[in-house]
Amino acid sequence: MLRILPCLRCIAVLFGLAFPVLIAAEDDNWSDSDNAIVNQGDDLLDQGKTEAADRLYRQLMVIHPESAVPLVLHVMALNAMGRYPEALAESRKAVALDPENSAAQKWLGVFLCRTGQPAQAIAPLRQSLELDHYYNDAAIWLASAYVQTGQPGQSSQILEKVLQDLPPDKLPATMAWIASVYYDIGDSPSALLWWQRAAQLGSKSAAQWLSWAYSTGYGGVPIDEGHSAYWSRIGDDPFPWLPRLSFANDLVQWTHGWFVVLVLLASAACLPLPTIGIVALCVGRGVTTDPALHWTERARRSYPFQVFLGTSVLLLPLVYAAATGYFPSFVVPVPKWLLFWLVLAVGLLSSNRVVVLWARRYHEHPGSHAQNLLNIAVIVYIYLPVLLIFGVMANYLPSQWGLQAALDLAAAVLAYFWIQFGGWVRLGRIVRLLVPGDPKLVQLAQELASHWQRPAPTVWTFRWNKANAFALPFANAIAVTQKLNAILSAEEMKAILAHEMAHLCEDRTTRLLRLLTPLLLLPLFTLSLWWSGNWAEFVACYLIVIAGFVLLRKRRRRMEERADTFGSQAQEDAQVYARSLSKLYETNHVPAVMPGKRMVHPHLYDRLLAAGITPDYTRPKPPSRWGAVPALLTLALNVVCLTTLWLLLF
């Protein structure tokens, strides 16, 4: 995009070529060979070979030392090379040689503007216009000088007069040219204004500049993907094979833009049914609820389908909500953030409804619509706080290291520690996902703590429609889901609590790894501070993060095996712990052997063998890993539908 700028400068250069050559033709001392040198220099300048052109112009300066024309040509070459202070000095010489040379006067004014002397630029630019009104670019620079000196009224009069004298087909290019002048002098509000006017009249270059401005926040405009995508298509349509609807403008403006809101909400409400349905109908074959099969085989067959449904219900609402960012805010009658959350909510409800319908077809005990929404809320509650802390920090980080960056980083780290050391429990109580545990569970935990001479942990009941339990080492707490408490006997629950208690009394190295490893994500959230654009640095940072999490995963695997030993030894009969694990896996419909060898928890089959129990079934095969593939296919179908809709309207 920024390659356009040198082209605009060349246009400004070329506008000054014709008049000096005419003057040269009228000079009796100017020969045909001199004209040939000028033409050759012009050709080189057109080709971007500025230094070669300048060498030819310098030859003319030696041949005609008393003429201002070679100096003007030399000045234009210096302008193309960006050597403004030197060009200013040469412009002064040209004016001194020939004060009546309008081109010399114009370039003197231009370089006074470029070097931050707009007040001194006004006189030579006015003189240039009085000598020859051909120079519209002199008028534009004069207008910019008036703006810089606090005389916007004078500037507007000059520009409007320039535009009045032009035919309609020349207006877009001239307005884009005006914008480029303002961009050159750093007047971003004026540049944006004239880009907007030029783009609305059909200037493709101005539209591309507007797209760049809205994608980078140039001139203080809010970064807006909707504006950027809109002007990008007007400037250089990347999808000419799908033309915009002929009546799209009427549709977009219908009921003051509420049509766009209705379209987005309708898309989020309706697209999940056909897109998830088409894929689910194809990939659901082989999934069965046949009671004649052992539960491990039914879980193995349904696992890929569960992955497909779970991934779809989490990703599709985010896709619909993200699509709102690509619709220009000037056609949306509500704030973009409000539209984002409205579409996200509608997409979540719709996707969840479709997923529940399909889950009922292949699941022995499918959850209800409300239970499935609660499961999603629990996932958000578990993973969102830390990511939200780092995300908010990244949003407010400055672009350079300093006191503000240090304070933002420190605040994020402190908030993270607060989450780990009890904040997660407090948030759970606020949203009513955590409530005080059953007194029987509390008593069992106290008995185990007394037996091991450890501080008694707090026990919480987790309102989640899954059978599970987990420890919070830094809060000295254990959370047990309602469903797990309902399906296990007191003996089995004591064995599970022993497993979780083992995590509360891990060694210091493990606790330190658990605490600090998530902080490895901070470099990825602070790219604006340290990344210079070198991809090698980014890859190195990414590899460090991966290495840290791999190290933690291996450590956690050893801790899970250790905790299983504690669970087995909590009761004299090792089968008690084995039964509790089997019930947990069967209730959650989790395969006894999972795909891959990098799981944090060992396979159920191996956990039973480690407890000294030989299962009454042969070792199952691991389920297929293709579950994510249809989810990505569904995601792609929705992206295609939303993109087509956008292209038809914009």
Average pLDDT, the chain: 84
Structure tokens that stand for 600 in this block: 């944090």
Contact at 8 Å (CB) between 268 and 350? yes
pLDDT at residue 574 tops 70: yes
Q: How far apart are CA 430 and CA 196, in angstroms?
A: 48
The mean pLDDT of 547-562, rounded to a whole number, is 86
Structure tokens that stand for 633 in this block: 């296919």
Contact at 8 Å (CB) between 399 and 528? yes
Structure tokens that stand for 416 in this block: 């993270």
Q: What does DSSP assign to residue 170?
A: G
Residue type at position 42? D
Q: How far apart are CA 5 and CA 209, in angstroms?
A: 10
Reduced 3-state DSSP string for 360-389 = HHHCCCCCCHHHHHHHHHHHHHHHHHHHHH
pLDDT at residue 78 tops 60: yes
**Of the candidates 227, 158, 164, 165, the residue with the CA atom closest to the CA atom of residue 196:** 227
Q: Which of 27-31, 382-386, 462-466 has the lowest mean pLDDT?
A: 27-31
Q: How far apart are CA 18 and CA 36, in angstroms?
A: 14
Contact at 8 Å (CB) between 583 and 467? yes
**Of the candidates 555, 475, 547, 477, the residue with the CA atom closest to the CA atom of residue 514:** 555
Q: Number of C-alpha atoms within 13 angstroms, CB side, residue 236?
A: 8
The mean pLDDT of 599-614, rounded to a whole number, is 87
Q: Report the top-level CATH class of 1-165.
A: mainly alpha
> Domain segments of the chain: what residues?
1-165, 168-236, 388-588
Q: How far apart are CA 14 and CA 8, in angstroms?
A: 10
Torsion, CA 422, CA 423, CA 429, CA 433, rounded to 10: -100
State phi, psi for 74 to the nearest 5 degrees.
Answer: -60, -40
* pLDDT digit string, tens, across residues 173-223: 888 888 887 887 778 888 888 898 888 888 888 988 998 998 888 888 888
Predicted local distance difference test score (pLDDT) of residue 16: 41
Q: Which of 223-237, 359-373, 472-486 has the lowest mean pLDDT?
A: 359-373
pLDDT at residue 316 tops 60: yes
Antiparallel, parallel or unpaired: β 469-472 and 458-462: unpaired
Structure-token match 């519209």, residue found: 136
Which range has the top average pLDDT, 153-157, 178-182, 477-481?
Answer: 477-481
Q: How far apart are CA 378 and CA 356, in angstroms?
A: 17
Q: How far apart are CA 461 and CA 453, in angstroms?
A: 24
Residues for the chain: how many in total? 650
pLDDT at residue 478 tops 90: yes
Q: Which of 50-59, 115-124, 137-146, 507-516 has the lowest mean pLDDT?
A: 137-146
Predicted local distance difference test score (pLDDT) of residue 42: 84
Of the two residues 434 and 246, the one the predictor is more confident about is: 434
Decide: residue 439, CB within 10 A, 0-12 exposed, 13-18 middle, 19+ buried. Answer: exposed
Q: How far apart are CA 39 and CA 33, in angstroms?
A: 10
CATH number of 168-236: 1.25.40
* pLDDT digit string, tens, across residues 291-304: 788 888 888 888 88
The mean pLDDT of 317-337, rounded to a whole number, is 90
Decide: residue 54, CB within 10 A, 0-12 exposed, 13-18 middle, 19+ buried. Answer: buried
* pLDDT digit string, tens, across residues 328-343: 888 889 898 899 999 9
